[in-house]
Chains A and B, each alone.
Chain A
Amino acid sequence: MTPAKLANDAAVPEEDVLRAGVYDLLAALLARPPARALIDRVAGLEGDETDLGRGIRALSRVARATSETAAEREFSRLFIGMARGELLPYASYYMTGFLHEKPLALLRNDMARRGIERAPNVFEPEDNIASLCEMMAGLILGRFGEPEPLSGQKDFYASHISPWAGHFFADLEGAKGSVFYAPVGAIGRVFMEIEREAFRMGG
């Protein structure tokens, strides 16, 4: 299994490894409140003058001034809340106005077809943004088997992510409760534009 895994990685072109890295970062930041180790790593990031680079610089700046407790409080305010958080980061909600609707059912079918399942100790619906980012990274790098060809990545993106993720990241960027998460929203929004454009170019 290990040699096959290495072969998978080696077969993935550099730019796709970069894409998977961005998806992994977004997934790590959105799956749960960031632990100190993640905040520290993010604080050490540097960005260039591209839109993505500016978002990363902003995130790094905010991370340097953020405590674990403050980040946890912010995460909770944004995504959990007393009754509900400020945002509901689910495909179903953004696409239909309700949770557990058809987009979730379609995603579950698609996951089953691709041999992906929810980890046993996760109880959130699969169509949350962190899981979708994680699945994209996994498809690109071949964590669920062979790396998914570009056409398959495009299908998954077009069905489950593209219709709503840009809106969600813009909402996150502008949310009242966003400080640490405002640049996360900016990075996600810019990256979704890059992905859409690249899929359009690459057939």
Chain B
Amino acid sequence: MSEEKAATSRRDFLKLASAAAPAIAVAAVGTTGTAEAATAESGSGYRRTEHVEKYLASARF
């Protein structure tokens, strides 16, 4: 019960405090690709990271 209340106030706090953030989310160019999933299970993430890394390298970022 009190845990639920805490979670709600955390949500409210974050929404208020980071009201400026939706604009940021649009601006972020996605991940920077310095870290990635190590497990084969999340294979699509791994491949995507590798692909993005190659693209970034070729685009000389």
Seen from chain A, the residues whose Cβ lies within 8 Å of a Cβ on chain B are 1-2, 5, 13-22, 24-25, 27-28, 31-32, 35, 37-38, 41-42, 44-48, 50, 52-53, 56, 111-112, 115-122, 124, 126, 128, 130-131, 134-135, 137-138, 143-145, 191, 194, 197-198, 201-203
Q: For residue A190, give the distance in angstroms from its CB to the closest CB of chain B.
A: 9
Main secondary structure, interface of A, reads helix
A38: chain B residues at CB < 8 Å are: 27, 29
- Report the separation of the CA atoms of residues A121 and B33 in the bound assembly, to the nearest whole angstrom: 10
The residue in chain B whose Cβ has the minimal distance to the Cβ of A47 is B20
Q: List 18 A-B contacts (CB under 8 A).
A: A1-B43, A2-B44, A18-B21, A22-B24, A24-B31, A25-B28, A38-B29, A52-B17, A52-B20, A115-B41, A118-B35, A119-B34, A119-B35, A124-B34, A145-B37, A197-B13, A201-B9, A201-B10
- CB of A15 within 8 A of CB of B18, answer yes
- CB of B53 within 8 A of CB of A121, answer yes
- CB of A21 within 8 A of CB of B21, answer yes
B interface residue count range (under 10 / 10 to 19 / 20 to 34 / 35 or more): 35 or more
- B16-60, CB under 8 A of A: which get 1 and which 0? 111111111111111111111111011111000110010001000
The A-B contact count (CB < 8 A) is 170
- CB of A202 within 8 A of CB of B45, answer no
B42: chain A residues at CB < 8 Å are: 1, 115, 143-145
